[in-house]
Amino acid sequence: MNWSDSVVLVTGGTGSFGKKFIDIMLKEYHPRRLVVFSRDELKQFEMQAAGFSHPSLRYFIGDIRDLQRCRRAFEGVDLVVHAAALKQVPACEYNPMEAIKTNILGSSNVIDAAIDAGVSRVVALSTDKAVNPINLYGATKLAAEKLFVQSNAYAGARKTRFTCVRYGNVVGSRGSVVPFFLKQRETGRVTVTDERMTRFWISLEQGVRFVIRAVENMHGGEVFVPKIPSMTVTDLARAIAPEAAIDFIGIRPGEKLHEVLISEDEARQTVELEDMFVVQPAESLWFGRDWEGKGRMLEDGFRYSSNNNDQWLNVEQIQSIIAPIEADYLAGRLG
């Protein structure tokens, strides 16, 4: 892919992922035009005030719930990175139709607008919570994944191709537990729901660079899953607040003890590469199967979950990862 000759649009471009993606694009890839598509004019203003200003950069106000606005925004665009979503589990549970309108119907609008505008590549961000979901957020992201994978059939002979990237919790992203623990640290006590709880973890920059890699290597129809380390939430709390007492308060509704990135059923059509997995669509034999032969097919019963991982972060490693996030928090730059 020739980035310097491409027009790139990011939905949800003012979010944590969007800002890091824009930053890396401007510094390293230099696309011909780079479009921030989001619904919040204040966040766009704040981005510009924070230095996100460049001759190639455009700010486009719109909501993925609005199909006509998506169509207008996607005109002349070569690549769409779809990062817009409602992602807070309690908020989605309390406002279920809003989650469905944004995460499912909004994703459908992105797909339709991309096909209509002749966008070449569309990459959607997903989450470990889409695997065997037990809350509405995960269910909407699973539905969105299915939409993006199967929409390669809708595109037919047209050039538009769709793929997904699925990874775990992003360290320090908006809504992350890290700022929450940093705030609790001031009281001398932090709350953890269960001492056995584990999570996959990836840095914001790692997530962005993995998405860029997916863009460059996608065929359409696959789901890219990085190999990333796990940590216990208790170790995370100890890394952030080593002097604080830890209160175990019980698992909340819609929360899992361990997260899964590849289920046993998906493993049957998944190819393992050196540093990632590629999940091929089970339903389609005529698209998305290009990865067979490029890696190792997984054995029956394989399950990639945060508690059976072979990569683990200890307290010291966690501390080194969160150090810049802590610095931003103390300086008032985290928000």
Beta pairing partners, 265 = none
End-to-end C-alpha distance for the chain, whole angstroms: 33
Residue 88 lies in a domain: yes
Query: What pLDDT, on the 0 to 100 scale, is given for residue 286?
Result: 80
Measured in degrees and rounded to the nearest 5, phi and psi for residue 55 equal -55, -30
Beta pairing partners, 198 = 232
* Residue 127: CB atoms within 10 Å: 24
Cα–chain center distance at 279? 16
Told to judge if 129 belongs to the known catalytic residues of this protein, a careful annotator would answer yes
Residue 216: is it exposed, middle or buried by C-beta count within 10 angstroms (0-12/13-18/19+)?
exposed
Catalytic residue among 20, 87, 129, 256: 129
Residue 246 lies in a domain: no
Secondary structure (DSSP) of 103-158: IIIHHHHHHHHHHHHT-SEEEEEEEGGGSS--SHHHHHHHHHHHHHHHHHHHHTTS
Helix or strand holding residue 37 (H, E) = strand 33-38
Residue 25 lies in a domain: yes
Least confident of 3-12, 36-45, 267-276, 322-331: 322-331
Strands 57-61 and 161-167: unpaired
Query: What pLDDT, on the 0 to 100 scale, is given for residue 283?
Result: 80
Specify whether the CB–CB gap between 150 and 281 falls below 8 A.
Answer: yes
Say whether pLDDT at 28 is over 60.
yes
Q: How confident is the model at residue 68 (pLDDT cuts 50, 70, 90)?
A: very high
Residue 320 lies in a domain: no
Say whether pLDDT at 188 is over 70.
yes
Residue 233 lies in a domain: no
Q: How confident is the model at residue 32 (pLDDT cuts 50, 70, 90)?
A: very high
Query: What pLDDT, on the 0 to 100 scale, is given for residue 48?
Result: 95
Query: What pLDDT, on the 0 to 100 scale, is given for residue 152?
Result: 95
Residue 244 lies in a domain: no
Tokens representing residue 134 in the block:
């037990």
Residue 120 lies in a domain: yes
Say whether pLDDT at 331 is over 90.
no
Say whether pLDDT at 335 is over 60.
no
Q: CATH no. for residue 216?
A: 3.40.50.720
Residue 267 lies in a domain: yes
* Residue 318: CB atoms within 10 Å: 22
Number of separate domains in the chain: 1
Specify whether the CB–CB gap between 128 and 261 falls below 8 A.
Answer: yes
Least confident of 117-131, 166-180, 209-223: 166-180
Specify whether the CB–CB gap between 159 and 118 falls below 8 A.
Answer: yes
Q: Provide the residue range defining the domain that includes 220.
A: 3-168+202-227+262-302
Q: Any idea what the Cα angle at residue 170 is, between residues 168 and 176, rounded to 5°?
A: 115
